[in-house]
Amino acid sequence: MLVISYETQNLRDSCLSLENAESSYGSLQAQELIEILADADAVDDAEEFIELYSGSDCVVVKDSISLKIGSEYSMTLTAIGENMQVTVTGEIVWSSVTRLKLMMIKKCP
């Protein structure tokens, strides 16, 4: 299971339930956000999560994953944990990542 933690308590609270997410991000985006978090819970590691969303506005840069939530928002998750592996060139081995931190959800420009 891929574990998601949250940068702030406010961010965690807004993602805790569909009702809270709807209040923060609107109905359509809230449903998609809750589905994304449920998908993260269902996979074994970050590589599986990235593969699951590889066809849909998923961008991986260094230690972060950015993913669109509907057409109005995007989320940024960062790899965390002591057990993740890094290649000799400094790239993260995403199959070794079992913890991500949701850093932010922001409105798209």
Domain with 98, as residue range(s), is 3-107
In the chain, how many domains are there?
Answer: 1
Q: Please give the backbone phi and psi of residue 14, each rounded to the nearest 5 degrees, phi first.
A: -70, -20
In contact, 30 and 18? CB cutoff 8 Å: yes
Q: How confident is the model at residue 26 (pLDDT cuts 50, 70, 90)?
A: very high
Segment 17-41 shows an average pLDDT of 96
- pLDDT score at 57: 81
For residue range 46-86, list pLDDT tens digits in order: 999 999 998 778 999 999 999 999 889 999 999 999 889 99
CATH number assigned to the domain comprising residue 97: 3.30.2310.20
Which structure tokens are listed for 95? 């199959």
Task: Give CA–CA dist 49/47, Å, rounded.
Answer: 5
